[in-house]
Amino acid sequence: MKLQEMEKCAPTSDWNVLYWVLGSILMPVALPLAIINLWQRFRAQKYRNQLPGKVVLITGASSGLGESLAHVFYRAGCKVILAARRVQELERVKKDLLALDVQPAYPPTVLALDLSELNSIPDFVTRALAVYNQVDILINNGGISVRADVASTAVDVDLKVMVVNYFGSVALTKALLPSMIKRQIGHICFISSVQGKFAIPQRAAYSASKHAMQAFADALRAEVASKNINVSCISPGYVQTQLSMNALTGSGNNYGKMDEATAKGMSPQKLSERILQCILCKEPDIIVSDFQAKIAYYLRHLLPSVFFWIMAKRALKLEKAAKKST
């Protein structure tokens, strides 16, 4: 269908409903939501003194958001276990943490972890538990992304993204869960994405893996609620990390480009502080993004026909841009 024909088919009646929703529903709740956010920040500050001495295991801690999370929790007085494939980078992060003036301070622990090697994860958990005999907070942050449309993405790439982003975190969570259940305490945090809430063109594999993570977190949360174990799922928008630089193409090669949206995204430091607040307040599911992403989320659920029309236009625009660049 041509762009002109798509515009003629745009659901104009839905636009009227959208304006009504924005004016009559969303605006009146903005103030209460702001008040709630301030209250949550107050609560987070109140419970912050409970963090010193807690054992925090962070995956994907060698760079980006994981590295920033390591700084935030180390500064809070936690016993931090850093996990990722690149041990040399983990040692760099450890060195940076040790240079900080923090009291109390516990030397960070570095452990190699490849989330794609599912069979090695139980042994990794054994080594992680041996450090302090427990893990109080697990932050499933490690993952990869893809920049390719469905038609040009090899199934092997879909599989790799799903293994690293979903099955890796699932395997790690399952291996660690018995120790938390035995102690009747713990907090499991999944770093998802707004693209796990709604899918956009050229992110099918990534969105699918994050959507699966959301579903797993929801089911797990219900099952462990009676065991004093909390489960949080954080869905950020664009973050200023190397995610797009390290993303895969449809053939499995390195994408190696910095997306404009990623470059203009939220700072990892700001997001890390919000994640800390989420854990302190035991929030089950939050979206941390700009207004545009939140509008897209509500459109997907309240006015799906409008959302689908916008995404179709976006896909067509990306397709034309790709043809011009080749």
Cα(47)–Cα(42) distance, rounded to whole angstroms? 9
Name the burial class of residue 1, with classes exposed (0-12), middle (13-18) and buried (19+) by CB atoms within 10 angstroms of its CB. Answer: exposed
- What is the CB neighbour count within 10 angstroms for residue 13? 10
What Rg, from alpha-carbon coordinates, does the chain have?
21
State the Cα–Cα distance between residues 322 and 197, nearest whole angstrom: 26
Sheet holding 79-84, edge to edge: 109-112, 79-84, 55-59, 137-140, 186-191, 229-236, 285-288
- Give all strands (DSSP E) within the chain, no chain letters: 55-59, 79-84, 109-112, 137-140, 186-191, 229-236, 285-288
Q: Tokens 């949206």 belong to which residue?
A: 261
State the DSSP string of 167-181: IHHHHHHHHHHHHHH
Beta-bridge partners for 137: 56, 187
Full DSSP string of 28-91: HHHHHHHHHHHHHHHHHHHHGGG-TT-EEEEESTTSHHHHHHHHHHHHTT-EEEEEES-HHHHH
Question: What DSSP character marks residue 196?
Answer: G
Q: Which amino acid is at 6?
A: M
Length of the chain: 326
- The Cα–Cα gap between 32 and 99 comes to 41
* Structural tokens at position 237: 């928008």
Q: Looking at 74, 166, 206, 238, which residue is catalytic? A: 206
206 in active site? yes
State the catalytic residues.
206
